[in-house]
Amino acid sequence: MNREITRKAKIWCLAVFLFAAHIFCRTVAHADEGSAWNMMVSRTGDCKIDFPSRPQMVQQSLKVSEEGLRLHYDVYLAPLEDKGICLLLIAQYPLPINPGNEVAGLEGLLHGIVGHGAENELVFAKLIDVNGVPAVNFLVQNGLSYFRGLALMVGNKLYLIAMEGKKGTLDESVFTQFSESFKLHE
């Protein structure tokens, strides 16, 4: 029972943090149209990805248990011209995810994102394999905005590659460019 509560708390913390990141990013200056994309290596050096402009990084650590276990987040945010934002969220859980539970964790993340807003609607979600790692490819939207994402779990880390913007402005080719630039270091 306590594990279930902790798992749900982690999912809701992630959803709340995504919302906070959304608000934070609204204050970031927009990238110039036609600017070259920039490769960025994560703070911990475990992955790299190309952003449309130099990303801002936000770090947070949340206590998730009475025993003092903490969930650590690094969020990289960059504006995409006047069309929205690109983000990479790396959440490091305090304990490894049991093998075979990665898909359940990804489904929990997706339910948390959809459940974060009463008007949110899951347009599609597909479980896929990214270099031998389970991942979920999805689109959530409401009357005003979209949230296009790809999430994967590796060990005790969740990687969420996403774009958010006004409904009707999603450029799927840009999301493909962004998500396919993501590489884990081996």
Distance CA 99, CA 117 (A): 31
Determine contact, residues 47/99, Cβ cutoff 8 Å: no
Q: What is the CATH number of the domain that holds 122?
A: 3.40.1000.10
Number of domains within the chain: 1
Task: Give me 153's structure tokens.
Answer: 């779990």
- At 47, the amino acid letter reads C
**Stretch (H or E) spanning 158:** strand 157-166
Residues 45-99: pLDDT tens digits? 999 999 999 999 999 998 888 888 898 999 999 998 877 999 999 999 888 778 8
Distance CA 150, CA 77 (A): 15
Q: Which domain holds residue 92?
A: 2-184
Query: Within the chain, which residues score under 70 in pLDDT?
Result: 1-35, 186
